[in-house]
């Protein structure tokens, strides 16, 4: 076998080798491309993506109250912050933060903080939405799973989570209606 | 496999089939006449026990799948229906749920056996590696199975574990979305986990076949770790070990049955009898007991290492704890297999076993809990220690022991009396006649 493939006309690296290699390369690339639809079919489907905005009426929410709404299967925390909470968030020096971000950038309208209520460590839902739940050392949220503390701007302050609670894409349709997504 | 040079076995129909498809001569050769060292102890029972458990899991699983609904709206209730309304449903489900526990008990004993008697050493490296592959597949299968009843632990366990992948830089989040098929653990996730939970046990079955083929090439190791020198050192598998395996299996099944019938929720988590609530995390998320040591390692890395963030570090350590098992055959440099003749390794083996139990204990407790009042010793501190020791054992101790440990003299053969002085040495040369 090796005799006639390699030294057919007296030197190796013949045209036949080239054909073998290029056929092999095309087959592997083609195989990989053919596999892609199988893998991609496991990504979110059109109907799942279609459910990706919600509108919330927040007229009933009082100062100091927090509510939870569901968006894309995840809890979204809406916090109508008190003056004290806002001041605390805005006065925090960026140097104290693990994931530095100003409160101004996170809460366009200071009274309303909207964050995704999924701990950036391993995805538990932090506590603090009702007054009876612990809110952690910075008065925001506390994740019971592995002890992450978030401040009144939803920024990570202590514990294993690496990042702040993310702010979802949002738009204030008017003073009482928020569109998330 | 060459054909024709083997005499067909049996007569009549058996012979007719065997001439055309040599299944009977294969069974005869590999399971009846197969020569095994004559000095197996009870730890050599677990291969048969594991085979039995795999078949039992597949049987109960297929029957459960006929009643189970892989849909978030229906899953929890369908399992409750199995428990209450389906004939014998409660028994089949308890067999399956406790079966996973006993499957892992058996596989861990089987592996510690391998570590103690050096069963991973030349020529059994690949046999050992296939075993670790089976362990990994079992873990994936059990993890996905636990999601199916769609209780609180199912949901939050799935959330926490799939989120581990988000620690991978750059592509992590895309991987998690791909695993979920959405933006959180939800119906698409449950559906695919069911499909894969059905598939994986059959993959395991395939790898078990390879594992056994590899075993029948090298032959079994034995408590002395010395190779059989001739027929005086072995017995045929049937009836000797078929009987011993049956006896061990009967004991194992009795204990298993005790839990199925009298303490079916002993290993379970009451929280999982609450339906999954995606907006409400339970106060303590704990995995099933068989994952606790790895969970403890994951959580012990709660500090950044150079540029590696704590979260990624934990994930690397956890997967590393499994990966290191693959390379044990090359980490352990000692030419002596059995710990019986390794005075130092033997101690460290037992320390390692304790370490694994300590990790399991740590994994089940909140990291910030105090172990002792007074002393400021927290669970996490023990986690650091135990995690350090786990890797230290494999990566530092095993190679060093191979160099510095002075093994005890090995018996010349399995039949030779252990350390029998001059007569043992003499009888080794006279091996064909020897009987002891
Ligand atoms: C390697 C073998 C297997 C292991 C380790 C395993 C493990 C598990 C575990 C831990 C559970 C959760 C039990 C509970 O708490 O309720 C489960 C559930 C389930 N498994 Fe398996 N399984 C195996 C094989 C199979 C097979 C072959 C099927 C066939 C389709 C299957 C079908 C199911 C079904 C339908 C459930 C949900 C019902 C229930 O929760 O009891 N399993 N499995
Ligand atoms: S998931 Fe919140 S701290 Fe780990």
Strand partners, A54: A180
Ligand 2 pocket test, candidate residues A75, A148, A158, A164, most atoms within 8 A of CB:
A148
Nearest ligand to residue B140 Cα: 1
Nearest Cα neighbor of B352 from B116, B119, B128, B139 is B116
Nearest Cα neighbor of B158 from B319, B278, B273 is B278
Q: Are B232 and B61 in contact (CB under 8 A)?
A: no
CA distance linking residue B168 with residue B333, whole number of Å: 33
pLDDT at A1: 44
* Closest residue to A73, CB basis, from B163, B186, B368: B186
Q: Which atom of ligand 2 is nearest to the CA of B163?
A: 1
Residue A150 tokens read as 């978030």
Residue B247 tokens read as 């006896």
pTM, two decimals, is 0.85
Region class of B344: left (phi > 0), else alpha (psi between -120 and 50), else beta: alpha
Indicate if ligand 1 lies below 6 Å from the C-beta of B92. Answer: no
Residue B423 tokens read as 């007569």
Provide the b/e sequence for A58-93 (b: ≥16 CB within 10 Å).
beebeeebbeebebbbbbbbbbbbeeebbebbeebe
Structure confidence at residue B368 as a pLDDT band (50, 70, 90): confident
Indicate if ligand 1 lies below 6 Å from the C-beta of B63. Answer: no
CA distance linking residue B292 with residue B298, whole number of Å: 10
Q: Which residues of A touch B180 (CB under 8 A)?
A: 44
Q: Quick check: B393 pLDDT over 60?
A: yes
Locate the chain B residue with the closest alpha carbon to A128. B280
> Which tens digit of pLDDT belongs to each residue from B87-113?
999 999 999 999 999 999 999 999 999
Widest CA span in chain A: 89
Q: What average pLDDT score do residues B27-50 get?
A: 93
Q: Are B180 and B189 in contact (CB under 8 A)?
A: yes
Q: What average pLDDT score do residues B363-390 get?
A: 87
Locate the chain B residue with the closest alpha carbon to A70. B279
Higher pLDDT, B372 or B148: B148
Query: What ipTM was reported for this prediction?
Result: 0.72
Å from CA of B189 to ligand 1 middle: 16
SS3 A151: strand
Locate the chain B residue with the closest alpha carbon to A142. B283
Strand partners, A180: A54, A170
> Which tens digit of pLDDT belongs to each residue from B12-25?
999 999 999 999 99
Contact: B178, A42; criterion CB under 8 Å: yes
In this structure, the strands spanning B35-37 and B234-236 are: antiparallel
Q: What is the DSSP letter of B308?
A: B
Å from CA of B427 to ligand 2 middle: 65
Nearest Cα neighbor of B186 from B70, B264, B83, B85 is B70
Ligand 1 pocket test, candidate residues B60, B90, B94, B145, most atoms within 8 A of CB:
B145
Q: Are B182 and B189 in contact (CB under 8 A)?
A: yes
First to last CA, chain B: 37
* Closest residue to A44, CB basis, from B163, B183, B314: B183
pLDDT at B185: 94
CA distance linking residue B146 with residue B288, whole number of Å: 9
CB atoms within 10 A of CB B328: 19
Sheet holding A66-71, edge to edge: A66-71, A74-80, A112-116
Å from CA of A145 to ligand 2 middle: 5
> Which tens digit of pLDDT belongs to each residue from B257-268?
999 999 999 999
Residue B427 tokens read as 């009888």
CA distance linking residue A87 with residue A66, whole number of Å: 17
- Which residue in the block uniquely carries the two structure tokens 């089939």? B17
Contact: B182, A124; criterion CB under 8 Å: no
Residue B292 tokens read as 């606790």
CA distance linking residue B241 with residue B32, whole number of Å: 9
Locate the chain B residue with the closest alpha carbon to A73. B184
CA distance linking residue B87 with residue A163, whole number of Å: 50
Percent of chain B with pLDDT over 70: 94
Q: Which residues of chain A have pLDDT under 70?
A: 1-12
Residues B294, B297, B302, B306: is their CA dihedral positive or negative?
Answer: negative
> Which tens digit of pLDDT belongs to each residue from B323-352?
999 999 999 999 999 999 999 999 999 999
Burial class (CB in 10 A: 0-12, 13-18, 19+), B182: buried
**Helix locations, B66-117, DSSP H:** 75-84, 89-117
Å from CA of B61 to ligand 1 middle: 5
* Closest residue to A122, CB basis, from B160, B177, B302: B160
CA distance linking residue B46 with residue B32, whole number of Å: 18
Residue A80 tokens read as 């109508």
SS3 B26: helix
Q: What is the CA radius of gyration of chain B?
A: 25
Region class of B241: left (phi > 0), else alpha (psi between -120 and 50), else beta: alpha
CA distance linking residue B110 with residue B407, whole number of Å: 24
CB atoms within 10 A of CB B13: 8
Residues B253, B259, B265, B267: is their CA dihedral positive or negative?
Answer: negative
* Closest residue to B163, CB basis, from A122, A127, A147: A122
Burial class (CB in 10 A: 0-12, 13-18, 19+), A22: exposed
pLDDT at B210: 97
Instruction: Please report the residues numbered 53 through 72 in chain A whose beta carbons come closer than 8 angstroms to any beta carbon of chain B.
Output: 68, 70, 72
Q: What average pLDDT score do residues B413-424 get?
A: 59
Burial class (CB in 10 A: 0-12, 13-18, 19+), A33: exposed
> Which tens digit of pLDDT belongs to each residue from B277-334?
988 888 788 899 999 999 999 989 888 888 888 888 999 999 999 999 999 999 999 9
CA distance linking residue A118 with residue B296, whole number of Å: 22
Contact: B160, A145; criterion CB under 8 Å: yes
Residues of B marked active site are found at: 216, 220, 244-245, 288
């Amino acid at each position: 076998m090796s005799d006639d493939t390699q030294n057919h006309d007296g030197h190796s690296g013949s045209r036949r080798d080239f054909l073998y290699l290029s056929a092999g390369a095309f087959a592997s690339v083609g195989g990989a491309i053919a596999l892609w639809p199988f893998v991609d079919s496991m990504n979110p489907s059109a109907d799942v993506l279609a459910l990706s905005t919600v509108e919330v009426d927040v007229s009933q929410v009082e100062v100091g109250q927090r509510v939870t709404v569901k968006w894309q299967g995840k809890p979204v925390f809406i916090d109508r912050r008190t003056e004290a909470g806002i001041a605390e968030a805005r006065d925090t020096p960026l140097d104290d933060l693990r994931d530095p971000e100003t409160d101004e950038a996170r809460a366009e309208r200071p009274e309303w903080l909207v964050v995704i209520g999924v701990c950036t460590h391993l995805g538990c839902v932090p506590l603090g939405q009702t007054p009876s739940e612990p809110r952690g050392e910075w008065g925001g949220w506390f994740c019971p799973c592995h002890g992450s503390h978030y401040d009144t701007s939803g920024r990570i302050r202590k514990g294993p989570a690496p990042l702040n609670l993310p702010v979802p894409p949002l738009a204030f349709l008017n003073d009482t209606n928020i569109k998330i997504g | 496999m060459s054909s024709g040079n083997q005499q067909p076995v049996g007569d009549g129909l058996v012979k007719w089939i065997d001439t055309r498809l040599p299944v009977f001569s294969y069974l005869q050769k590999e399971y009846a006449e197969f020569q095994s060292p004559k000095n197996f102890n009870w730890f050599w029972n677990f291969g048969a026990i594991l085979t039995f458990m795999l078949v039992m899991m597949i049987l109960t699983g297929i029957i459960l799948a006929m009643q189970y609904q892989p849909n978030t709206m229906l899953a929890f209730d369908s399992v409750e229906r199995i428990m209450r309304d389906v004939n014998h449903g409660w028994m089949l489900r308890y067999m399956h749920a406790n079966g996973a526990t006993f499957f892992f008990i058996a596989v861990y004993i089987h592996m510690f056996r391998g570590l103690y008697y050096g069963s991973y050493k030349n020529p059994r490296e690949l046999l050992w590696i296939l075993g670790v592959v089976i362990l990994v597949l079992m873990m994936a299968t059990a993890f996905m199975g636990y999601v199916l009843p769609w209780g609180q632990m199912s949901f939050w366990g799935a959330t926490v574990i799939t989120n581990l992948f988000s620690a991978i830089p750059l592509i992590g989040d895309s991987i998690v979305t791909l695993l979920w098929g959405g933006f959180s653990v939800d119906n698409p996730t449950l559906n695919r986990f069911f499909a894969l939970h059905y598939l994986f046990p059959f993959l395991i079955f395939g790898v078990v076949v390879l594992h056994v083929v590899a075993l029948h090439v090298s032959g079994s190791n034995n408590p002395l770790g010395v190779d059989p020198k001739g027929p005086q050192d072995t017995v045929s598998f049937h009836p000797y070990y078929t009987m011993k395996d049956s006896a061990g299996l009967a004991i194992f099944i009795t204990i298993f049955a005790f839990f199925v019938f009298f303490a079916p929720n002993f290993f379970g988590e009451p929280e999982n009898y609450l339906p999954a609530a995606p907006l409400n995390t339970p106060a303590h998320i704990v995995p099933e007991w068989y994952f606790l040591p790895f969970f403890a390692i994951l959580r012990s890395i709660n500090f950044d290492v150079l540029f590696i963030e704590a979260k990624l570090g934990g994930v690397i350590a956890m997967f590393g704890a499994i990966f290191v098992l693959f390379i044990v055959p090359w980490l352990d440099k000692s030419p002596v297999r059995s710990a019986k003749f390794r005075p130092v390794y033997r101690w460290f083996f037992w320390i390692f076993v304790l370490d694994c139990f300590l990790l399991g204990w740590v994994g089940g407790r909140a990291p910030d809990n105090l172990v002792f009042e007074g002393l400021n010793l927290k669970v996490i501190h023990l986690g650091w220690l135990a995690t350090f020791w786990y890797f230290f054992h494999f990566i530092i101790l095993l190679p060093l022991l191979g160099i510095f440990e002075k093994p005890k003299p090995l018996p010349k053969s399995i039949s030779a009396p252990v350390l029998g002085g001059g007569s043992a040495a003499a009888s080794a040369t006279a091996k064909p006649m020897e009987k002891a």
